[in-house]
Amino acid sequence: MSSLSDFATRLKNARQTKGWSMDKLCENMDPPVSKMTISRYEKGEIWPSSTHLIALANALSKSYDYFMRPITFQLETVHFRKKSNVTVKETKRIEQETADRLENYIELEEICGEPSCEKLPVYEVSSINDVTAAAEDLRTKWGIGKNGITNVIDLLESHGVKVIEIDAPESFDGLSSMVCGEMPIIVLAYQKKFSERKRLTAVHELGHLVLKFDDKIVEKEQESLCNRFATEMLLPEKELKEILGKKLSNYVFSEVRAVQKRYGISFDAVMYKMKECGIIPEKRYVGYRIYKSKNHEYKVNVETNYWHEECSDKLLRLAGKAYDKGLITLSKAACLLNKNVTEVQKELVL
């Protein structure tokens, strides 16, 4: 059973995950309590009665036992990729939803007896050459062939990274964190229409987990180096030069499109990589950007996504295994998957 302080933290987290104020929570409780009472709950001053605890659970779409479990971990060293229009409130909601989903993930692993144990390598980075070398070494360690990464999420999960997908505004890309100093997680937004962007974001966040930057490298430069790591993992410079050539005065649209389709990386990212690797001159890349900005039809064409959808299904597979073995009930599976029982029944029961 959780302590009063753990209950208080869970209540506040659940409310913030909903994006609700205390007043909004009061409005959705049946029977309701006052805002002052909610405040006292969240300060850890008093326990709710069993009636009001059930009302809290119902309002916040949480199970009764969610509030009774002790808190066993906190997110650490969170790297957030988002645009400035993502509010502090939305940021907090994303972090709290991540913590809740991760807790369910860990519980299902423990129930199934399948904890992740592989540790990620760490690479010291003081220059862009170190980043390129790190990507090359990791590709070799993970057995990634010349044809690229078929499924980024499957690859990450097969090497001990917990991938969590959440509903988030379009301006949110992803975050990464280490839990207890040894459990790597990457959080992505559901982006069915933008799988190429999602793949790049996932590997960018992997960069934050495996690259240890020199103290002199500022945050903005770290982001740039993580982008280079991501493109090098998805589309190595050596492979790109073998396909297109080492030096071009111009680019052939059909050849760039073929690279995009083969490696699951956007047309824009391929063009930037060509410029970055010196395959095309800076002036030609700038010309491409200008033409794209002035020609709407061309812009739509080059921004078309060609890669198949990638989603994490490990949590569902773990829940299915636990349910099939009789280790959890259908309602418990629904709770751990943050879905209703009807949805889960269709996915887990023949």
Q: Which of 84-98, 177-191, 286-300 has the highest average model confidence (pLDDT)?
A: 286-300
The pLDDT, as a whole number, for residue 145 is 83
pLDDT band of residue 76 (cuts 50, 70, 90) is low
The phi, psi pair for 319, rounded to 5°, reads: -65, -40
> In which residue are the tokens 């940021």 written?
91
- Nearest CA-CA partner of 153 in 111, 103, 205: 205
The phi, psi pair for 147, rounded to 5°, reads: -80, 5
Give the residue, 129 or 76, on which the prediction is more confident: 129
| pLDDT, tens digit, 9 for 90 and up, residues 21-42 | 999 999 999 999 999 999 999 9
* Whole-prediction pTM: 0.83
The pLDDT, as a whole number, for residue 192 is 59
Residue 95, Cβ neighbours under 10 Å: how many? 19
- Nearest CA-CA partner of 306 in 338, 261, 273: 261
Q: What whole-number distance in Å separates Cα of residue 170 and Cα of residue 303?
A: 16
pLDDT band of residue 73 (cuts 50, 70, 90) is low
Q: What whole-number distance in Å separates Cα of residue 69 and Cα of residue 57?
A: 13
HEC profile of 4-71: HHHHHHHHHHHHHHHCCCHHHHHHHCCCCCCHHHHHHHHCCCCCCCHHHHHHHHHHCCCCHHHHHCCC
Give the residue, 174 or 293, on which the prediction is more confident: 293
